[in-house]
Structure 1
Amino acid sequence: MRTSKEREAVKDSRQPDYLRNFEEELDRYQAEQEAKLGLNQSNAQWFDPVPRQFFAKDKDSTTILFGGLTMAHDYLMEGALKGLGYTVKHMDCPDTESLRFGKEFGNRGQCNPTYFTVGNLIKYLTYLRDVEGKSKEEIVSKYLFITSGSCGPCRFGTYVTEYRKALRDAGFDGFRVLLFQQQSGLKQATGEESALKLDSSFFLTFLKAVLIGDILNALGYRIRPYEVEEGSTNTALERCKQHLYKAFSERKQLIPALYRCRKELQTVKVDRTRVKPKVSIIGEFWAMTTEGDGNYQLQNFLESEGAEVEVQSVTAWILFLIWEGQYDTRKRMHLREADSDSKGLKGKNPLKRLLILELADRTVRGMFHTYARAIGLRGYHLPDMDEIAEVAHSYYNNHLRGGEGHMEVGKLILNVKKRKVNMTISVKPFGCMPSSGVSDGVQSLITEIHPEAIFLPIETTGDGAINVYSRIQMMLFKAKQAAQKEFDEALAKKGFSVDQLQKNIFSRSPITEPLKVSKHSVACTSANVVYQLREIPNRFSFRRHKVKEV
Structure 2
Amino acid sequence: MTQSVSFDPPKKRLPLADLDLDAELARFESEERARLGLEDRERWVEDMANLSFKKSERGKVTLLVGGLTMAHDFFVEGALKHVGYSVLALDAPDNEALRYGKEFGNRGQCNPTYFTVGNLVKFLVHLRDDKGMSAREIIDRYVFVTAGACGPCRFGMYVTEYRKALRDAGFEGFRVMLFQQQGGLSQATGEESGLELNPKFFLALIKALLAGDVLNAVGYRIRPYELEAGATDRALEQSKRICYDALSNGTSILRALYRSRQILGQVAVDRTRVKPRVAIIGEFWAMTTEGDGNYQLQRFLEGEGAEVDIQLVTAWLLYNIWEVTWDTENRAELRAEDGGRFGLSGLGEYGAAKRKVSLWAADKALRLVFHTYAWCGGLHDYHLPNMNEVADAAMPHYNNDLRGGEGHMEVGKLILNVVKQKATMTLSVKPFGCMPSGSVSDGVQSLITERYPGTIYCAVETSGDGAVNFYSRVQMYLFKARQAAEAEVAAALAANGLDGDGLRAFLAARPRLSAALHRSPHAGACTATDLVHEAAYLKSTPLWRRAARRLDAGARGVAKGLGRGVSALPKAASLSVRAVAELGEIARDNGPAALDETMAKAKARLIEVAFGLKSDSGSSIAAAAG
Question: In the TM superposition, what whole-angstrom CA distance separates every residue of 1:237-262 from its partner, at most 9, and x where no partner exists?
Answer: 11111110000000001121111111
**Residue number in structure 1 paired with 2:466:** 464
Q: Structure 1 residue 448: deviation in Å?
A: 1.1
- Relative distance call for 1:93 and 1:162 in structure 2 (3 A) is same
Percent same amino acid at aligned positions? 58
**Residue number in structure 2 paired with 1:118:** 117
**Does the CA contact (< 8 Å) of 2:379 and 2:517 recur in 1?**
yes
Question: In the TM superposition, what whole-angstrom CA distance separates every residue of 1:279-319 from its partner, at most 9, and x where no partner exists?
Answer: 01100000000000000100000000000000101000100
Q: Name the aligned partner's letter for residue 48 of structure 2.
A: V
Q: Name the aligned partner's letter for residue 313 of structure 2.
A: V
Question: In the TM superposition, what whole-angstrom CA distance separates every residue of 1:38-94 from its partner, at most 9, and x where no partner exists?
Answer: x97541252324352111011110010010100010011111011111100000000
> In structure 1, which of residues 375, 387, 390 is the aligned counterpart of residue 389 of structure 2?
387
**Residue number in structure 2 paired with 1:44:** 42
User: Which is bigger in relative contact order (C-alpha 8 A, separation at least 6)?
Assistant: 1
**Does the CA contact (< 8 Å) of 1:179 and 1:188 recur in 2?**
no
Q: Structure 1 residue 346: deviation in Å?
A: 3.1
> In structure 1, which of residues 402, 416, 419 is the aligned counterpart of residue 418 of structure 2?
416
**Residue number in structure 2 paired with 1:521:** 523
Q: Name the aligned partner's letter for residue 460 of structure 2.
A: I
**Residue number in structure 1 paired with 2:443:** 441
Matches within 5 A, 1:256-335: 256-335=255-334
Q: Name the aligned partner's letter for residue 261 of structure 2.
A: R
**Does the CA contact (< 8 Å) of 2:506 and 2:535 recur in 1?**
no
**Residue number in structure 1 paired with 2:25:** none
Matches of 1:151 and 1:531, distance apart in 2 = 43
Q: Structure 1 residue 542: deviation in Å?
A: 10
**Does the CA contact (< 8 Å) of 1:283 and 1:435 recur in 2?**
yes
Matches of 1:517 and 1:427, distance apart in 2 = 27
Q: Structure 1 residue 402: deviation in Å?
A: 1.3
Matches of 1:284 and 1:505, distance apart in 2 = 40
**Residue number in structure 2 paired with 1:109:** 108
**Does the CA contact (< 8 Å) of 1:509 and 1:516 recur in 2?**
no
Matches of 1:212 and 1:255, distance apart in 2 = 9
Matches of 2:190 and 2:254, distance apart in 1 = 36
**Residue number in structure 2 paired with 1:24:** none
Matches of 1:130 and 1:490, distance apart in 2 = 61
Q: Structure 1 residue 454: deviation in Å?
A: 0.5
Query: Partner of 1:415: helix, strand, or coil?
Result: helix
**Residue number in structure 2 paired with 1:532:** 534
Query: Partner of 1:260: helix, strand, or coil?
Result: helix
- Relative distance call for 1:213 and 1:334 in structure 2 (3 A) is same
Matches of 2:188 and 2:332, distance apart in 1 = 30
**Residue number in structure 2 paired with 1:65:** 64
**Does the CA contact (< 8 Å) of 2:190 and 2:196 recur in 1?**
no
Matches of 1:324 and 1:185, distance apart in 2 = 15
Matches of 1:257 and 1:150, distance apart in 2 = 32
**Does the CA contact (< 8 Å) of 2:188 and 2:196 recur in 1?**
no
> In structure 1, which of residues 380, 401, 404 is the aligned counterpart of residue 403 of structure 2?
401
**Residue number in structure 2 paired with 1:377:** 379
Q: Structure 1 regions of 5+ residues with no counterpart?
A: 1-38, 544-550
Q: Name the aligned partner's letter for residue 408 of structure 1.
A: E
Matches within 5 A, 1:181-200: 181-184=180-183, 188=187, 193-200=192-199
**Does the CA contact (< 8 Å) of 1:510 and 1:529 recur in 2?**
no
Matches of 1:192 and 1:457, distance apart in 2 = 49
**Residue number in structure 1 paired with 2:475:** 473
- 1:150 lines up with 2:152 in the alignment: no
**Residue number in structure 1 paired with 2:581:** none
- Relative distance call for 1:505 and 1:397 in structure 2 (3 A) is closer
Q: Structure 1 residue 511: deviation in Å?
A: 4.8
> In structure 2, which of residues 484, 493, 496 is the aligned counterpart of residue 494 of structure 1?
496
Matches of 1:408 and 1:186, distance apart in 2 = 30
- 1:128 lines up with 2:130 in the alignment: no
Q: Name the aligned partner's letter for residue 528 of structure 1.
A: D
**Residue number in structure 2 paired with 1:3:** none
Moved more, 92-101 or 156-165: 156-165
Matches of 2:337 and 2:39, distance apart in 1 = 40
- Relative distance call for 1:272 and 1:100 in structure 2 (3 A) is same
Q: Name the aligned partner's letter for residue 419 of structure 1.
A: Q
Q: Name the aligned partner's letter for residue 193 of structure 1.
A: E
Query: Partner of 2:323: helix, strand, or coil?
Result: helix
Moved more, 116-125 or 338-347: 338-347
Matches of 1:242 and 1:404, distance apart in 2 = 32
What TM-score, normalized to structure 1? Answer: 0.89
Aligned residues: 505
Q: Structure 1 residue 398: deviation in Å?
A: 0.7
Matches of 2:493 and 2:276, distance apart in 1 = 16
Matches of 1:155 and 1:539, distance apart in 2 = 58
Q: Name the aligned partner's letter for residue 227 of structure 2.
A: V
**Residue number in structure 1 paired with 2:601:** none
Query: Partner of 2:397: helix, strand, or coil?
Result: coil
